[in-house]
Copies of this chain bind each other. A is one copy, B any other.
Amino acid sequence: MPGLYHSEDIPKNISRFCSSSLNFKAQSTENTSSFNLKLPKELQPLMANPLPEITEQNGTDQKKPKLEKEGGKETDLRSTALQAKARLFRVVSYISGDMKVYGEWMKERFLVFQFFDWVLRGVAQVMFVNNPLSGLIIFAGLLLQNRWWALNGFVGTVFATISALILRQNRGSIAAGLYGYNGILVGLLMAVFSAKGDWYWWLLLPNIFMSMTCPLVSSALASINSRWDLPVFTLPFNILVCLHMVATGHYNNYFPQVLIQPRTSLPNLTWSDIDFALLFRSVPVGVGQVYGCDNPWTGGIFMVALFISSPITFLHATIGSAVGMVSGLALAAPFGDIYFGLWGYNCVLACIAIGGMFYALTWQAHLLAVACAFFCAYLGAAIANVMSVYGLPACTWPFCLSALTFLQFTTETKTIYKLPLAEVTYPEKNLDKFRKMKKAEKAERLLRKKNEEAAQEEGEKKRQLISGNREKPLLLENAKADAIEIQMEAPEDDLNEETPESHPSEGQGE
Protein backbone atom coordinates (compact mmCIF):
# COMPACT_ATOMS: atom_id res chain seq x y z
CA MET A 1 0.00 0.00 0.00
CA PRO A 2 2.03 2.97 -1.20
CA GLY A 3 -0.56 5.29 0.27
CA LEU A 4 0.45 4.27 3.76
CA TYR A 5 4.11 4.99 4.08
CA HIS A 6 4.24 7.85 1.63
CA SER A 7 1.57 9.86 3.38
CA GLU A 8 4.10 12.27 4.79
CA ASP A 9 5.28 12.99 1.27
CA ILE A 10 1.97 14.35 0.08
CA PRO A 11 2.34 18.07 -0.51
CA LYS A 12 0.95 20.03 2.34
CA ASN A 13 -1.44 21.99 0.25
CA ILE A 14 -3.20 18.78 -0.72
CA SER A 15 -3.81 16.88 2.44
CA ARG A 16 -3.65 19.43 5.23
CA PHE A 17 -5.31 22.70 4.27
CA CYS A 18 -8.74 21.25 3.95
CA SER A 19 -11.60 23.63 4.25
CA SER A 20 -12.50 22.84 7.80
CA SER A 21 -15.37 25.30 7.70
CA LEU A 22 -18.94 24.19 7.20
CA ASN A 23 -18.42 20.84 8.91
CA PHE A 24 -17.50 19.31 5.59
CA LYS A 25 -15.39 16.40 6.75
CA ALA A 26 -13.19 16.87 3.73
CA GLN A 27 -10.28 15.47 5.69
CA SER A 28 -12.05 12.27 6.53
CA THR A 29 -13.28 11.99 2.97
CA GLU A 30 -9.73 12.26 1.81
CA ASN A 31 -8.58 9.65 4.24
CA THR A 32 -11.31 7.32 3.16
CA SER A 33 -10.53 7.77 -0.45
CA SER A 34 -6.85 7.11 0.08
CA PHE A 35 -7.55 3.43 0.29
CA ASN A 36 -9.60 1.84 -2.41
CA LEU A 37 -10.86 -0.78 -0.03
CA LYS A 38 -12.74 1.61 2.15
CA LEU A 39 -14.79 3.00 -0.70
CA PRO A 40 -18.42 1.94 -0.45
CA LYS A 41 -18.75 -0.79 -2.99
CA GLU A 42 -22.19 0.36 -4.09
CA LEU A 43 -20.97 3.71 -5.23
CA GLN A 44 -18.18 2.59 -7.44
CA PRO A 45 -20.32 1.74 -10.43
CA LEU A 46 -21.29 5.34 -10.59
CA MET A 47 -17.75 6.46 -10.85
CA ALA A 48 -16.61 6.91 -14.34
CA ASN A 49 -13.82 9.00 -12.88
CA PRO A 50 -14.04 8.22 -9.20
CA LEU A 51 -12.08 10.33 -6.80
CA PRO A 52 -9.16 12.48 -7.68
CA GLU A 53 -7.60 11.20 -4.47
CA ILE A 54 -7.59 7.57 -5.49
CA THR A 55 -5.56 8.20 -8.54
CA GLU A 56 -3.62 10.67 -6.47
CA GLN A 57 -2.33 7.94 -4.20
CA ASN A 58 -1.16 5.87 -7.07
CA GLY A 59 0.60 8.83 -8.49
CA THR A 60 2.13 10.19 -5.32
CA ASP A 61 5.47 8.43 -5.38
CA GLN A 62 6.11 9.28 -8.99
CA LYS A 63 4.82 12.78 -8.77
CA LYS A 64 7.21 14.02 -6.15
CA PRO A 65 10.36 12.95 -8.02
CA LYS A 66 8.84 14.38 -11.18
CA LEU A 67 8.33 17.74 -9.55
CA GLU A 68 11.87 17.69 -8.25
CA LYS A 69 13.14 16.65 -11.62
CA GLU A 70 11.32 19.51 -13.22
CA GLY A 71 12.73 21.88 -10.69
CA GLY A 72 16.16 20.57 -11.50
CA LYS A 73 15.49 20.77 -15.19
CA GLU A 74 14.68 24.43 -15.12
CA THR A 75 18.06 25.34 -13.79
CA ASP A 76 19.83 23.06 -16.18
CA LEU A 77 18.02 23.99 -19.35
CA ARG A 78 19.94 26.30 -21.58
CA SER A 79 17.79 26.78 -24.67
CA THR A 80 14.63 28.83 -24.17
CA ALA A 81 12.84 26.72 -26.75
CA LEU A 82 13.09 23.62 -24.65
CA GLN A 83 12.03 25.57 -21.62
CA ALA A 84 8.98 26.90 -23.41
CA LYS A 85 8.08 23.43 -24.54
CA ALA A 86 8.29 22.08 -21.02
CA ARG A 87 6.17 24.95 -19.77
CA LEU A 88 3.62 24.35 -22.51
CA PHE A 89 3.54 20.68 -21.62
CA ARG A 90 2.94 21.55 -18.02
CA VAL A 91 0.20 24.02 -18.86
CA VAL A 92 -1.46 21.39 -21.01
CA SER A 93 -1.17 18.85 -18.22
CA TYR A 94 -2.97 21.35 -15.96
CA ILE A 95 -6.01 21.75 -18.18
CA SER A 96 -6.22 18.32 -19.82
CA GLY A 97 -7.36 15.00 -18.36
CA ASP A 98 -9.31 15.31 -15.15
CA MET A 99 -7.51 18.49 -13.97
CA LYS A 100 -6.43 16.79 -10.80
CA VAL A 101 -4.06 19.52 -9.67
CA TYR A 102 -6.80 22.09 -10.05
CA GLY A 103 -9.17 19.85 -8.16
CA GLU A 104 -6.72 19.60 -5.28
CA TRP A 105 -6.15 23.32 -5.30
CA MET A 106 -9.90 23.85 -5.25
CA LYS A 107 -10.20 22.00 -1.96
CA GLU A 108 -8.73 24.99 -0.14
CA ARG A 109 -11.25 27.39 -1.63
CA PHE A 110 -14.66 28.40 -0.37
CA LEU A 111 -17.41 25.87 -0.61
CA VAL A 112 -19.25 27.98 -3.18
CA PHE A 113 -16.30 27.80 -5.56
CA GLN A 114 -15.93 24.11 -4.91
CA PHE A 115 -19.60 23.59 -5.62
CA PHE A 116 -19.22 25.49 -8.88
CA ASP A 117 -16.32 23.16 -9.77
CA TRP A 118 -18.51 20.11 -9.07
CA VAL A 119 -21.31 21.50 -11.19
CA LEU A 120 -19.00 22.16 -14.14
CA ARG A 121 -17.53 18.67 -13.86
CA GLY A 122 -21.08 17.36 -13.82
CA VAL A 123 -21.83 19.23 -17.03
CA ALA A 124 -18.88 17.54 -18.74
CA GLN A 125 -19.43 14.09 -17.21
CA VAL A 126 -22.24 13.46 -19.68
CA MET A 127 -19.40 12.75 -22.12
CA PHE A 128 -17.33 10.90 -19.46
CA VAL A 129 -15.12 13.97 -19.08
CA ASN A 130 -14.13 14.88 -15.53
CA ASN A 131 -12.88 18.34 -16.36
CA PRO A 132 -14.34 21.69 -15.23
CA LEU A 133 -12.84 23.59 -18.17
CA SER A 134 -14.56 21.26 -20.63
CA GLY A 135 -17.72 21.75 -18.58
CA LEU A 136 -17.42 25.51 -18.92
CA ILE A 137 -16.91 25.29 -22.68
CA ILE A 138 -19.86 22.90 -23.02
CA PHE A 139 -22.00 25.26 -21.01
CA ALA A 140 -20.99 28.08 -23.35
CA GLY A 141 -22.11 25.88 -26.24
CA LEU A 142 -25.45 25.37 -24.55
CA LEU A 143 -25.89 29.12 -24.11
CA LEU A 144 -25.21 29.53 -27.82
CA GLN A 145 -27.95 26.97 -28.58
CA ASN A 146 -30.73 28.21 -26.34
CA ARG A 147 -30.52 30.18 -23.12
CA TRP A 148 -33.72 28.77 -21.63
CA TRP A 149 -32.48 25.24 -22.15
CA ALA A 150 -29.10 26.17 -20.67
CA LEU A 151 -30.84 27.62 -17.62
CA ASN A 152 -32.86 24.43 -17.14
CA GLY A 153 -29.72 22.34 -17.51
CA PHE A 154 -27.93 24.49 -14.96
CA VAL A 155 -30.82 24.26 -12.50
CA GLY A 156 -30.88 20.50 -13.00
CA THR A 157 -27.16 20.10 -12.29
CA VAL A 158 -27.25 22.35 -9.25
CA PHE A 159 -30.24 20.66 -7.65
CA ALA A 160 -28.99 17.17 -8.43
CA THR A 161 -25.71 18.01 -6.70
CA ILE A 162 -27.50 19.58 -3.74
CA SER A 163 -29.73 16.53 -3.45
CA ALA A 164 -26.69 14.24 -3.46
CA LEU A 165 -25.27 16.30 -0.59
CA ILE A 166 -28.53 16.07 1.33
CA LEU A 167 -28.78 12.33 0.73
CA ARG A 168 -25.21 11.97 2.02
CA GLN A 169 -23.77 10.36 -1.06
CA ASN A 170 -20.05 9.74 -1.43
CA ARG A 171 -18.27 13.09 -1.38
CA GLY A 172 -15.64 12.01 -3.90
CA SER A 173 -18.28 11.03 -6.43
CA ILE A 174 -20.08 14.32 -5.96
CA ALA A 175 -16.82 16.21 -6.44
CA ALA A 176 -16.22 14.30 -9.69
CA GLY A 177 -19.57 15.49 -10.98
CA LEU A 178 -21.01 11.99 -11.03
CA TYR A 179 -24.26 13.13 -9.44
CA GLY A 180 -24.58 16.14 -11.70
CA TYR A 181 -24.56 14.75 -15.24
CA ASN A 182 -27.95 13.11 -14.99
CA GLY A 183 -29.28 16.35 -13.55
CA ILE A 184 -28.17 18.45 -16.50
CA LEU A 185 -29.66 16.00 -18.97
CA VAL A 186 -32.94 15.86 -17.07
CA GLY A 187 -33.14 19.64 -16.98
CA LEU A 188 -32.16 20.13 -20.62
CA LEU A 189 -34.35 17.46 -22.14
CA MET A 190 -37.41 18.38 -20.09
CA ALA A 191 -37.07 21.85 -21.55
CA VAL A 192 -36.39 20.55 -25.06
CA PHE A 193 -39.46 18.31 -25.16
CA SER A 194 -41.87 20.67 -23.41
CA ALA A 195 -44.66 21.73 -25.75
CA LYS A 196 -45.17 24.99 -23.82
CA GLY A 197 -42.16 26.61 -25.47
CA ASP A 198 -39.35 28.60 -23.86
CA TRP A 199 -39.53 30.56 -20.64
CA TYR A 200 -42.48 28.63 -19.22
CA TRP A 201 -41.31 29.09 -15.66
CA TRP A 202 -43.60 26.48 -14.09
CA LEU A 203 -41.46 23.87 -15.78
CA LEU A 204 -38.76 24.51 -13.20
CA LEU A 205 -40.91 22.78 -10.58
CA PRO A 206 -40.91 19.26 -12.11
CA ASN A 207 -37.35 19.98 -13.25
CA ILE A 208 -36.21 20.51 -9.67
CA PHE A 209 -38.21 17.53 -8.40
CA MET A 210 -36.76 15.20 -11.04
CA SER A 211 -33.21 16.52 -10.66
CA MET A 212 -33.38 15.96 -6.94
CA THR A 213 -34.58 12.40 -7.51
CA CYS A 214 -31.56 11.73 -9.75
CA PRO A 215 -29.01 10.90 -7.03
CA LEU A 216 -31.48 8.55 -5.39
CA VAL A 217 -32.16 6.66 -8.57
CA SER A 218 -28.44 6.70 -9.40
CA SER A 219 -27.62 5.20 -6.04
CA ALA A 220 -30.29 2.52 -6.35
CA LEU A 221 -29.15 1.55 -9.85
CA ALA A 222 -25.53 1.57 -8.75
CA SER A 223 -26.39 -0.93 -6.01
CA ILE A 224 -27.68 -3.26 -8.69
CA ASN A 225 -25.05 -2.67 -11.36
CA SER A 226 -22.20 -2.94 -8.87
CA ARG A 227 -22.84 -6.68 -8.81
CA TRP A 228 -21.41 -6.84 -12.30
CA ASP A 229 -18.99 -3.95 -11.84
CA LEU A 230 -20.98 -1.93 -14.36
CA PRO A 231 -21.52 1.83 -14.33
CA VAL A 232 -25.01 3.34 -14.34
CA PHE A 233 -24.30 5.55 -17.37
CA THR A 234 -27.24 7.86 -18.09
CA LEU A 235 -29.88 5.37 -16.99
CA PRO A 236 -31.22 7.62 -14.20
CA PHE A 237 -31.73 10.41 -16.73
CA ASN A 238 -33.48 8.04 -19.14
CA ILE A 239 -35.75 6.72 -16.46
CA LEU A 240 -36.66 10.08 -15.01
CA VAL A 241 -37.19 11.99 -18.25
CA CYS A 242 -39.30 9.18 -19.67
CA LEU A 243 -41.18 9.06 -16.39
CA HIS A 244 -41.96 12.76 -16.56
CA MET A 245 -42.85 12.74 -20.24
CA VAL A 246 -45.12 9.73 -20.12
CA ALA A 247 -46.72 10.78 -16.83
CA THR A 248 -47.82 14.07 -18.33
CA GLY A 249 -47.99 13.17 -22.03
CA HIS A 250 -49.06 15.34 -24.93
CA TYR A 251 -52.58 15.80 -23.58
CA ASN A 252 -51.82 17.54 -20.32
CA ASN A 253 -52.99 20.92 -19.16
CA TYR A 254 -49.91 21.90 -17.17
CA PHE A 255 -46.89 20.14 -18.64
CA PRO A 256 -47.71 18.96 -22.16
CA GLN A 257 -44.98 17.26 -24.20
CA VAL A 258 -44.30 17.57 -27.91
CA LEU A 259 -46.28 15.02 -29.90
CA ILE A 260 -44.27 11.98 -30.98
CA GLN A 261 -46.09 9.27 -32.92
CA PRO A 262 -45.14 5.97 -34.55
CA ARG A 263 -44.45 5.98 -38.26
CA THR A 264 -47.48 4.77 -40.24
CA SER A 265 -46.42 5.20 -43.84
CA LEU A 266 -43.46 4.52 -46.07
CA PRO A 267 -41.06 7.48 -46.07
CA ASN A 268 -40.15 8.92 -49.45
CA LEU A 269 -36.48 8.16 -50.01
CA THR A 270 -34.73 9.31 -53.18
CA TRP A 271 -30.97 9.04 -53.14
CA SER A 272 -30.63 11.90 -55.59
CA ASP A 273 -32.01 14.28 -52.95
CA ILE A 274 -29.11 13.62 -50.61
CA ASP A 275 -27.17 16.71 -49.48
CA PHE A 276 -23.56 15.82 -48.73
CA ALA A 277 -22.84 19.09 -46.97
CA LEU A 278 -25.63 18.41 -44.48
CA LEU A 279 -24.51 14.82 -44.20
CA PHE A 280 -21.01 15.94 -43.30
CA ARG A 281 -22.45 18.52 -40.91
CA SER A 282 -24.41 15.78 -39.17
CA VAL A 283 -21.19 14.61 -37.50
CA PRO A 284 -20.82 17.63 -35.18
CA VAL A 285 -24.62 17.87 -34.92
CA GLY A 286 -24.61 14.28 -33.69
CA VAL A 287 -22.15 15.22 -30.97
CA GLY A 288 -24.33 18.19 -30.06
CA GLN A 289 -27.43 16.00 -29.82
CA VAL A 290 -25.92 14.31 -26.78
CA TYR A 291 -27.16 17.44 -24.99
CA GLY A 292 -30.20 17.76 -27.25
CA CYS A 293 -28.65 20.54 -29.36
CA ASP A 294 -29.04 20.68 -33.13
CA ASN A 295 -26.76 23.67 -33.74
CA PRO A 296 -23.62 22.43 -35.57
CA TRP A 297 -21.52 25.19 -33.92
CA THR A 298 -22.62 24.00 -30.51
CA GLY A 299 -21.61 20.50 -31.55
CA GLY A 300 -18.26 21.84 -32.70
CA ILE A 301 -17.72 23.59 -29.37
CA PHE A 302 -18.49 20.33 -27.58
CA MET A 303 -15.87 18.59 -29.70
CA VAL A 304 -13.30 21.20 -28.69
CA ALA A 305 -14.20 20.60 -25.05
CA LEU A 306 -13.64 16.89 -25.55
CA PHE A 307 -10.31 17.43 -27.31
CA ILE A 308 -8.99 19.55 -24.45
CA SER A 309 -9.59 16.84 -21.92
CA SER A 310 -8.83 13.76 -23.96
CA PRO A 311 -7.96 13.43 -27.66
CA ILE A 312 -8.92 9.73 -27.60
CA THR A 313 -12.41 10.65 -26.40
CA PHE A 314 -12.63 13.27 -29.13
CA LEU A 315 -11.57 10.75 -31.76
CA HIS A 316 -14.13 8.16 -30.71
CA ALA A 317 -16.86 10.76 -30.48
CA THR A 318 -16.19 11.69 -34.11
CA ILE A 319 -16.04 8.08 -35.24
CA GLY A 320 -19.23 7.29 -33.35
CA SER A 321 -21.13 10.13 -34.94
CA ALA A 322 -19.94 9.10 -38.41
CA VAL A 323 -20.91 5.47 -37.79
CA GLY A 324 -24.36 6.57 -36.72
CA MET A 325 -24.78 8.58 -39.90
CA VAL A 326 -23.72 5.65 -42.09
CA SER A 327 -26.06 3.29 -40.20
CA GLY A 328 -28.93 5.66 -40.75
CA LEU A 329 -28.30 5.57 -44.48
CA ALA A 330 -28.04 1.77 -44.44
CA LEU A 331 -31.32 1.30 -42.59
CA ALA A 332 -33.32 3.59 -44.86
CA ALA A 333 -33.85 6.33 -42.31
CA PRO A 334 -35.41 9.60 -43.52
CA PHE A 335 -32.57 11.95 -44.42
CA GLY A 336 -33.99 14.64 -42.16
CA ASP A 337 -33.41 12.50 -39.08
CA ILE A 338 -29.82 11.86 -40.12
CA TYR A 339 -29.10 15.54 -40.76
CA PHE A 340 -30.66 16.35 -37.40
CA GLY A 341 -28.08 14.13 -35.66
CA LEU A 342 -30.63 11.71 -34.24
CA TRP A 343 -28.61 8.74 -35.49
CA GLY A 344 -25.37 10.04 -34.06
CA TYR A 345 -25.60 10.94 -30.40
CA ASN A 346 -26.07 7.44 -28.99
CA CYS A 347 -23.22 6.11 -31.11
CA VAL A 348 -21.01 8.97 -29.92
CA LEU A 349 -21.53 7.98 -26.30
CA ALA A 350 -21.27 4.24 -26.94
CA CYS A 351 -18.08 4.63 -28.94
CA ILE A 352 -16.47 6.80 -26.24
CA ALA A 353 -17.47 4.38 -23.49
CA ILE A 354 -16.07 1.28 -25.17
CA GLY A 355 -13.15 2.96 -26.94
CA GLY A 356 -10.68 3.61 -24.18
CA MET A 357 -12.91 4.65 -21.31
CA PHE A 358 -13.97 1.36 -19.73
CA TYR A 359 -11.75 -0.88 -21.85
CA ALA A 360 -8.03 -0.22 -22.21
CA LEU A 361 -7.53 1.08 -25.74
CA THR A 362 -5.94 -1.76 -27.67
CA TRP A 363 -6.76 -2.02 -31.34
CA GLN A 364 -9.12 -4.89 -30.58
CA ALA A 365 -10.97 -2.64 -28.14
CA HIS A 366 -11.05 0.03 -30.82
CA LEU A 367 -12.70 -2.37 -33.27
CA LEU A 368 -15.10 -3.38 -30.53
CA ALA A 369 -15.98 0.28 -30.04
CA VAL A 370 -16.78 0.66 -33.73
CA ALA A 371 -18.87 -2.52 -33.65
CA CYS A 372 -20.65 -1.18 -30.58
CA ALA A 373 -21.42 2.06 -32.41
CA PHE A 374 -23.01 0.10 -35.26
CA PHE A 375 -24.99 -2.04 -32.84
CA CYS A 376 -26.03 1.07 -30.97
CA ALA A 377 -27.32 2.70 -34.15
CA TYR A 378 -29.43 -0.37 -34.92
CA LEU A 379 -30.69 -0.45 -31.37
CA GLY A 380 -31.38 3.27 -31.57
CA ALA A 381 -33.76 2.80 -34.47
CA ALA A 382 -35.47 -0.06 -32.64
CA ILE A 383 -35.89 1.83 -29.39
CA ALA A 384 -37.06 4.99 -31.14
CA ASN A 385 -39.83 2.97 -32.78
CA VAL A 386 -40.79 1.26 -29.53
CA MET A 387 -40.80 4.48 -27.51
CA SER A 388 -42.82 6.36 -30.11
CA VAL A 389 -45.77 4.13 -29.18
CA TYR A 390 -45.83 5.94 -25.84
CA GLY A 391 -45.04 9.31 -27.37
CA LEU A 392 -41.49 9.20 -26.04
CA PRO A 393 -38.13 9.96 -27.67
CA ALA A 394 -35.36 7.34 -27.59
CA CYS A 395 -33.34 9.40 -25.07
CA THR A 396 -30.00 7.65 -24.51
CA TRP A 397 -31.47 4.21 -23.83
CA PRO A 398 -29.74 2.78 -26.93
CA PHE A 399 -26.36 3.94 -25.70
CA CYS A 400 -26.93 2.59 -22.20
CA LEU A 401 -28.14 -0.80 -23.33
CA SER A 402 -25.54 -1.32 -26.04
CA ALA A 403 -22.65 -0.14 -23.89
CA LEU A 404 -23.78 -2.31 -20.98
CA THR A 405 -24.02 -5.30 -23.30
CA PHE A 406 -20.55 -4.70 -24.70
CA LEU A 407 -19.12 -4.18 -21.22
CA GLN A 408 -20.79 -7.26 -19.83
CA PHE A 409 -19.52 -9.56 -22.53
CA THR A 410 -16.56 -11.76 -21.61
CA THR A 411 -13.83 -13.21 -23.75
CA GLU A 412 -10.78 -15.38 -23.33
CA THR A 413 -8.45 -12.99 -25.09
CA LYS A 414 -6.31 -10.74 -22.90
CA THR A 415 -6.07 -7.91 -25.38
CA ILE A 416 -9.55 -6.77 -24.44
CA TYR A 417 -9.08 -5.65 -20.88
CA LYS A 418 -11.97 -4.17 -18.94
CA LEU A 419 -10.73 -1.86 -16.24
CA PRO A 420 -12.11 -2.33 -12.74
CA LEU A 421 -14.69 0.39 -12.34
CA ALA A 422 -12.89 2.03 -9.44
CA GLU A 423 -9.77 2.55 -11.56
CA VAL A 424 -11.42 4.15 -14.55
CA THR A 425 -10.22 7.72 -15.09
CA TYR A 426 -9.79 8.91 -18.69
CA PRO A 427 -8.64 7.02 -21.79
CA GLU A 428 -5.04 8.23 -21.84
CA LYS A 429 -4.46 7.41 -18.20
CA ASN A 430 -6.31 4.11 -18.48
CA LEU A 431 -4.09 3.14 -21.39
CA ASP A 432 -1.02 4.18 -19.46
CA LYS A 433 -2.06 2.01 -16.53
CA PHE A 434 -2.79 -0.94 -18.77
CA ARG A 435 0.64 -0.68 -20.41
CA LYS A 436 2.44 -0.47 -17.10
CA MET A 437 0.52 -3.43 -15.87
CA LYS A 438 1.45 -5.43 -18.93
CA LYS A 439 5.08 -4.44 -18.58
CA ALA A 440 5.22 -5.32 -14.91
CA GLU A 441 3.55 -8.59 -15.64
CA LYS A 442 6.01 -9.40 -18.38
CA ALA A 443 8.97 -8.51 -16.21
CA GLU A 444 7.65 -10.64 -13.40
CA ARG A 445 7.08 -13.56 -15.73
CA LEU A 446 10.60 -13.24 -17.09
CA LEU A 447 12.07 -12.93 -13.64
CA ARG A 448 10.20 -15.98 -12.44
CA LYS A 449 11.37 -17.92 -15.45
CA LYS A 450 14.98 -16.89 -14.89
CA ASN A 451 14.69 -17.69 -11.21
CA GLU A 452 13.42 -21.12 -12.05
CA GLU A 453 16.25 -21.64 -14.48
CA ALA A 454 18.69 -20.36 -11.91
CA ALA A 455 17.28 -22.66 -9.27
CA GLN A 456 17.54 -25.57 -11.66
CA GLU A 457 21.09 -24.72 -12.48
CA GLU A 458 21.99 -24.23 -8.87
CA GLY A 459 20.61 -27.65 -8.16
CA GLU A 460 22.67 -28.97 -11.04
CA LYS A 461 25.68 -27.09 -9.80
CA LYS A 462 25.34 -28.73 -6.42
CA ARG A 463 25.15 -32.09 -8.01
CA GLN A 464 28.12 -31.17 -10.12
CA LEU A 465 29.93 -29.94 -7.05
CA ILE A 466 29.36 -33.27 -5.47
CA SER A 467 30.70 -34.94 -8.55
CA GLY A 468 33.50 -32.34 -8.65
CA ASN A 469 32.37 -31.02 -12.01
CA ARG A 470 32.07 -27.22 -12.34
CA GLU A 471 31.28 -25.64 -15.65
CA LYS A 472 28.42 -23.11 -15.98
CA PRO A 473 28.62 -20.61 -13.16
CA LEU A 474 28.67 -17.60 -15.47
CA LEU A 475 25.34 -18.41 -17.04
CA LEU A 476 23.67 -18.26 -13.70
CA GLU A 477 25.18 -14.90 -12.92
CA ASN A 478 23.98 -13.63 -16.27
CA ALA A 479 20.48 -14.79 -15.59
CA LYS A 480 20.41 -12.98 -12.29
CA ALA A 481 21.76 -9.78 -13.79
CA ASP A 482 19.20 -9.91 -16.58
CA ALA A 483 16.38 -10.32 -14.15
CA ILE A 484 17.48 -7.31 -12.14
CA GLU A 485 17.86 -5.25 -15.30
CA ILE A 486 14.34 -6.09 -16.40
CA GLN A 487 12.97 -5.18 -13.06
CA MET A 488 14.77 -1.86 -13.30
CA GLU A 489 13.08 -1.14 -16.60
CA ALA A 490 9.66 -1.17 -15.04
CA PRO A 491 10.06 0.85 -11.90
CA GLU A 492 6.89 2.90 -12.32
CA ASP A 493 4.81 -0.17 -11.84
CA ASP A 494 2.41 1.07 -9.23
CA LEU A 495 0.15 -1.71 -10.40
CA ASN A 496 2.68 -4.36 -9.60
CA GLU A 497 0.50 -6.23 -7.19
CA GLU A 498 -2.31 -6.58 -9.68
CA THR A 499 -2.53 -9.59 -11.85
CA PRO A 500 -4.05 -8.97 -15.25
CA GLU A 501 -5.87 -12.27 -15.08
CA SER A 502 -8.13 -10.96 -12.36
CA HIS A 503 -10.77 -9.84 -14.81
CA PRO A 504 -13.36 -8.26 -12.55
CA SER A 505 -16.35 -10.14 -13.78
CA GLU A 506 -14.53 -13.41 -13.55
CA GLY A 507 -13.50 -12.73 -10.00
CA GLN A 508 -17.02 -11.85 -9.06
CA GLY A 509 -18.38 -14.97 -10.60
CA GLU A 510 -17.52 -16.98 -7.56
Contact of A332 among B226, B253, B381, B412 (CB under 8 A): B253
Q: Does A390 lie at the interface of the complex (its beta carbon under 8 Å from any beta carbon of B)? A: yes
Q: Is A475 on the interface with B (CB-CB < 8 A)? A: no
CB distance from A169 to the nearest CB of B (A): 7
Tell me whether B411 and A167 are in contact (CB under 8 A): yes
Q: Which residues of B contact A313 (CB under 8 A)?
A: none
Quick check: A248 and B412 within 8 Å, CB to CB? no
Q: Does A58 contact B (CB under 8 A)?
A: no
Compute how far the CA of A20 lies from the CA of B357 in the bound complex, rounded to whole angstroms.
38
Cross-interface CB contact of A378 among B244, B264, B506, cutoff 8 Å: B244
**Are B216 and A405 in contact, CB atoms less than 8 angstroms apart?**
yes
Residue of B40, B220, B269 touching A406 (CB-CB under 8 A): B220
A227 contact from B227, B405, B410, B413, Cβ within 8 A? B227
Max chain B Cβ within 10 angstroms of own Cβ: one of A168, A219, A228, A247: A247
- Which residue in B167, B213, B222 is a CB contact (below 8 Å) of A375? B213
Say yes or no: is A331 at the interface (Cβ < 8 Å to chain B). Answer: yes
Given B42, B252, B385, B510, which contacts A410 in the complex, CB threshold below 8 Å?
A: B42
A359 to chain B, nearest CB (A): 13
* Chain B residue at minimum C-beta to C-beta distance from A374: B209
Docked CA distance A252–B267 (Å): 7
Instruction: Give A209 to B373 CA distance when docked, in angstroms.
Output: 13
**Once the chains bind, are A332 and B220 in contact (CB under 8 Å)?**
no
Contacts A248-B331, A331-B247, A510-B41 known; A409 to B219 CB distance under 8 Å? yes
Contact at A331–B411, with CB atoms within 8 Å? no
Q: Does the CB pair B389–A390 fall under 8 Å?
A: yes
Interface string of A241-264 (1 = CB under 8 A from B): 011101111011111000000011
Q: With an 8 A cutoff between CB atoms, is A283 at the interface? A: no
CB proximity to B under 8 Å, residues A17-42: 40-42
Contact (Cβ within 8 A) A223 B408: yes
Chain B residues closer than 8 Å to A331, beta-carbon distance:
247-248, 252, 254-255
Contact (Cβ within 8 A) A247 B411:
no
Q: How far apart are A381's CB and chain B's nearest CB, in angstroms? A: 4
Given A385-B247, A410-B219, do A255 and B510 touch, yes or no (CB 8 Å)? no
- Give bound CA distance, A379 to B41, whole Å: 28
Tell me, rounded to whole Å, the shortest Cβ–Cβ distance linking A162 to chain B: 14
Taking the complex as formed, is A57 at the interface, i.e. its CB lies under 8 A from any CB of chain B? no
A337 to chain B, nearest CB (A): 13
Nearest chain B CB to A398 CB, angstrom units:
10
| A465: Cβ under 8 A from any B Cβ | no
Cβ 8 A contact of A217, one of B244, B389, B405, B509? B405
Check A101 for interface membership: any CB of B closer than 8 A.
Answer: no
Contact residues in B for A43 (Cβ distance below 8 Å): 410
Instruction: Name the residue of chain B whose CB is nearest to the CB of A375.
Output: B213
Interface residue? A505 (CB, 8 A)? yes
Q: Are B382 and A243 closer than 8 Å at their CB atoms?
A: yes
Pick from B220, B251, B332, B378: contact of A408, CB below 8 A.
B220
For the complex, give the distance between the alpha carbons of A505 and B248 in Å.
34
* Interface status of A170 (Cβ within 8 A of chain B): yes
Interface hub of A217, A227, A509 (most chain B Cβ within 10 A)? A509
Q: Is the CB of A413 within 8 A of B249?
A: no
A144 within 8 A of B: no
Q: Does A111 contact B (CB under 8 A)?
A: no
Q: How far is the CB of A403 from chain B (nearest CB, A)?
A: 11
A386 at the binding interface (Cβ < 8 Å): yes
Chain B proximity of A461: nearest CB distance (Å): 33
> Of B41, B378, B404, which contacts A509 at CB under 8 A?
B41
Q: Which of A222, A252, A411 has the most CB of B within 10 A?
A: A411
Interface residues of A in 160-196 (CB under 8 A from B): 167-170
Across the interface, which residues of B come within 8 angstroms of A79, CB to CB?
A: none
Distance, CA A237 to CA B427, complexed state (A): 33
Indicate with 1 or 0, residue by residue over A127-168, a CB within 8 angstroms of chain B CB atoms: 000000000000000000000000000000000000000011
Q: Which 8 A-B pairs have the closest CB atoms?
A: A41-B509, A247-B381, A220-B408, A247-B382, A253-B332, A168-B413, A219-B409, A220-B409
- Known A40-B509, A216-B406, A220-B408; further 9 A-B contacts with Cβ < 8 A: A41-B509, A42-B506, A209-B378, A213-B375, A226-B509, A244-B382, A248-B381, A253-B267, A386-B390
30 intermolecular pairs with C-beta atoms under 8 Å apart = A40-B412, A40-B506, A42-B410, A167-B411, A209-B374, A213-B375, A217-B405, A217-B409, A219-B410, A220-B404, A221-B408, A222-B410, A223-B409, A223-B505, A227-B227, A244-B382, A246-B385, A247-B378, A247-B381, A248-B331, A248-B332, A251-B266, A251-B267, A252-B331, A252-B332, A253-B266, A253-B267, A254-B330, A254-B332, A385-B390
